[in-house]
Chain A
């Protein structure tokens, strides 16, 4: 009976979109909840049921209830070898609002009946919310993760396992959600119960076959006494000097918040002082930020300011810049600030030998605060005035790129060339990703600028001298 329903389902869907003919031999989801976002690793063994070789596999994120709205990064590889599979986000009408879907293209078609192991890793920053939403300062924060308990695959899954790691205490909860009425609970496995195994919470594996697009929303309430740091906006500016001074200025403007639980009462300093929460790392108020400074090179001239001036509570410690906001951030509290420093440029700049006057700079997309997610990130490269932007390459997708000009100090013609890359939903781990910007800057444009500035100064002095020669006195000599 079940099989029939499943078949009908498959048929219905297949009629709308052709997903190909695959079967998931096993499907293991591992959710890492150590940080303030979800890192999910799905390992799937897929089997070609078709009679022809196939190379296209559809992989909707394990969602189905529209919880994963802020996807940060997605990468699919083979399980046993580092071969990145071609992945493309596709829009499928029937999955609209339910799950983001990737179309994976295998490097070589899979022969009928044979299997291949795929590993998909992705990170999302949505789906987490504190429960209860308002707690007292001394309470422990609990986070509710809303997710689909099963795999949301267009194919039938024969064996399924769900693992949560990085949590100390957790419990499953029902989520009242009207959207999953299509799936009757009775066609789902009955005894899909968790157990604790090697510091993680493990469901399954079960060996009953799951029909395609199985949805059962579930809540996982777990203890997470760390802040959910989130930056609404980050504007990272990299100023590349025109002259050969070996200094690049990096400035980052954060609009920070804590997405965790709010205080149920007003902030009481007495409680805060008596609880000594500031010195413990294990509290859900965000009272300390650790910014990773560039490795192995000296960062000098570090400053930390906000809109009312300098903040004195920062120190450099073992390659990290440790910042204290002016006040601890409880859930819903905001804090905007700016940090900046200088690095030697030679580490980042490379002059291309094959092309004349062409330079390449390499900078990480983030120099990030630890354990944080970013909604919007703008990376601005300020190239020298009159330089020519050639191109950019990035390992992760950017939303948009914009090339413009901005007038800055001693800009005598168009202004610095400003290249802005916009990213969405980044996380701290992506700070390893580098951006490469290529630009052309001739010695002629450098000297032109020098002569222009000195020309202005000279003209000023000469005109002053000439004006002095004019006799404006009205008295007779």
Chain B
């Protein structure tokens, strides 16, 4: 016990707080130029921290500098809208928020189906700045800059976490890695106002406090763990990762025979407080005791009680009796546990495994069963280059770090190993989980690198060699030693310079990736003018703003779900479906309206009171993320609900290719989506065949689509967004097709009539 305590204080001696104690114990520590070494170390650490925070924040500001202070992408627009709702209404209004402007006509119980942590965080910051510090900053700027600000905190927590695993040198390296690793930057650039922006900070904080609690067996740190766990639950659905990782850690430790009272204290404190706290989030509610995702934590909690009892029994009775006691109780527990689990699941008391969970284990599951999950690009399996792209040299330092953890297998190292193994797998399954892998890659990489530096930066050997040399005073061996020292120095230099180069290159790579790959808001597109200056393509905002300014406030806009949040956030209009894909049938309905013929679509449009239909068309500019490229997902999702009416096969050409040119199938050409995308596109080419620059195909002028049930209302400058107004029912009861035909033939006649003076002119 005593020796352990000593070790503890040594390993944390560089922490600023402990610094004082050490200094008090040794009043005359080593000095450089009359300043205590510890003071210098502290100063350096503070400077390093400030630099790390500066680096991590400033590299995330590329997007603001290149573009502007704007909310990015899709989900952040919802978070932004929710935050605005929060700061303009009361907190309880926010929790009870029923949003009738989305999922028309169903609406969404938004307050109960979101993780409020992010919005509450920015709301609190907003209020604090406004009311306490007299800084009435616009809520948008707070939302935009929240992620960079939190990234600085993440770096600091990564420092503490890694310090617990190895030492403060490794901690500092981990902090700088975490600060600038693209894998994390991808979700935390300025404007990327998403749950992950604060969740990674909280993840690292929770883990740090967990390691601390587990090491010390401290209720205080266990409570802090629970507190940060609660914050995490309130902020991100990925909290389930913590909910499973900590029990797994305990479970493995028990299997390794490392049960101790410290573990018991730490875990039970965290579990009891954390679970109760997490149940306060409306969206989570009773999930922690019902959903199977959370069962592991509950199971380990139970197991820990049994082990504790066993431990107690073991200390009271002879080992022979204990063995039989162990066997019997094990069998009993396992059978009871399994029966209980199955029974509760069949009774419906606990929820079945969710589809997203299955797709974690079987990458093909989603593709077959739930197209809506598979259609999300961030749910795709990660491509191998992405690992290198997102973490650069850390990806090969990572295994080395994990290996070093095996070497020195303390309880906390077990944690790192479990975390590393699990997350490597998950990151391989889903692109977005790359994010949770990045912290441990940084930590492990830092451990490996600092170990290396520990060895190669250690020049005490050389200094110690000198006095020996003088005392022995033998010329031969001096030459030998000199050569020896030279080689030692050389090998050290080579290794150090190599890694200095890697580190330099790492920074270079991170900056490059951040500025080129992750700083585009995707709401605004950038291209280059011939003279190299930036040209902004602002079609999305153009069209959304048009909707906002020039349509009735209660107009319903139908668009594919990707754009739901943006329409809600920028155009402020009611949408049918959005990125919160809670109702598959509703999405399939929209998909069906898009992929069916006009007559079928019109019925759907009218039934859903749709006023405007919005499509994204990239054919003119070569914008590849357009609706025609997403079209097959719409078909697939609606086919899942209406297998009799929609057939994916019908949308392929004779030869089974996905075509939009003359070879396109009739179903394709008749679909509303196709028609709306290419409506009057040929006229831009003066009636000749138009060329679609995304798909590299030509749209023959002879098959120029005609629209009967909708009419063009607006098209943005580069044609990326096209808006159509749904026509009203014909007032003489014709179907709209014949009405359109009639008015077309009438038009030429009417023009002739118009030449006659209608009003009496008296000039």
Contacts and interface: CB of A to CB of B under 8 A. Distances in A.
A296 interface: no
B684 A267 contact: no
Nearest to B715: A269
Nearest to A268: B712
A194 interface: yes
Interface stretch (A57-65, A167-175, A235-243, A420-428): A167-175
Interface string B532-557: 00001010011011101110000000
A267 B549 CA distance: 14
B570 interface: yes
B220 to A, nearest CB: 8
Given A326-B545, A407-B134, A267 B68 contact: no
Interface stretch (A48-56, A114-122, A305-313, A388-396): A305-313
Interface stretch (A13-21, A81-89, A330-338): A330-338
A273 interface: yes
B713 A266 contact: yes
B759 A173 contact: yes
A409 B550 contact: no
Contact count band on A: 20 to 34
A333 B551 CA distance: 9
Nearest to B548: A307
Nearest to B541: A308
Contacts of A173: 759-762
B108 interface: no
Contact of B538 (A268, A273, A326): A326
A308 B712 contact: no
A408 B136 contact: yes
A327 interface: yes
B132 to A, nearest CB: 10
A265 interface: yes
Interface in A251-281: 265-270, 273-274
Nearest to A460: B133
Nearest to A410: B134
B134 A412 contact: yes
B714 interface: yes
Nearest to A330: B550
B253 to A, nearest CB: 26
Contacts, number: 89
Contacts of A290: none
A326 B136 contact: no
A434 interface: no
B549 A274 contact: no
A194 B761 CA distance: 13
Interface in B276-292: none
Interface in A168-203: 171-174, 194
Given A171-B763, A306-B545, A268 B715 contact: yes
Given A266-B714, A408-B136, A171 B761 contact: yes
B683 A274 contact: yes
Nearest to A263: B713
A172 B763 CA distance: 6
A411 B130 CA distance: 10
B549 A407 contact: no
Given A266-B711, A270-B680, A333-B550, A308 B762 contact: no
Contacts of B135: 409-410
Contact of A407 (B68, B136, B524, B684): B136
A43 B762 CA distance: 27
Given A326-B541, A327-B542, A267 B716 contact: no
Contact count band on B: 35 or more
Given A312-B538, A326-B542, A266 B550 contact: no
Nearest to B722: A269
A142 to B, nearest CB: 11
A172 B683 contact: no
B719 interface: yes
B15 to A, nearest CB: 15
B549 A266 contact: no
B119 interface: no
A201 to B, nearest CB: 10
Nearest to B754: A132
Contact of A194 (B69, B542, B712, B763): B763
Given A171-B761, A270-B684, A407-B134, A327 B711 contact: no
* Most chain A CB atoms below 10 A, which of B134, B538, B544: B134
A266 B676 CA distance: 14
A399 to B, nearest CB: 27
A327 B714 CA distance: 10
Contacts of A327: 542, 545-546, 714, 716-717
A270 B712 CA distance: 11
A345 to B, nearest CB: 22
Contacts of A407: 134, 136
Interface string B677-697: 000100110000000000000
Interface in A397-432: 407-412
Interface string B65-95: 0001110000000000000000000000000
B725 interface: yes
B545 A267 contact: no
Given A173-B759, A411-B134, A267 B541 contact: no
Contacts of B763: 171-172, 194
A270 B550 contact: no
A138 B549 CA distance: 24
Interface of B: 68-70, 134-136, 524, 536, 538, 541-542, 544-546, 548-550, 570, 680, 683-684, 711-717, 719, 724-725, 759-763
26 contacts: A171-B762, A171-B763, A173-B761, A173-B762, A174-B762, A266-B711, A266-B712, A266-B724, A267-B715, A268-B680, A270-B684, A308-B548, A309-B70, A310-B68, A312-B536, A326-B542, A326-B545, A327-B714, A327-B717, A333-B550, A334-B550, A335-B549, A407-B134, A409-B135, A411-B134, A412-B134
Given A174-B759, A326-B538, 18 more contacts: A171-B761, A267-B712, A268-B680, A268-B712, A269-B715, A269-B716, A269-B717, A270-B683, A306-B545, A308-B570, A309-B68, A310-B68, A312-B536, A333-B546, A334-B550, A409-B136, A411-B134, A412-B134
When A and B form their complex, which 8 residue pairs have the shortest distance between CB atoms, in order from nearest?
A: A269-B715, A266-B713, A310-B68, A334-B549, A326-B542, A312-B536, A266-B712, A171-B763
Interface of A: 171-174, 194, 265-270, 273-274, 306-312, 326-327, 332-336, 407-412
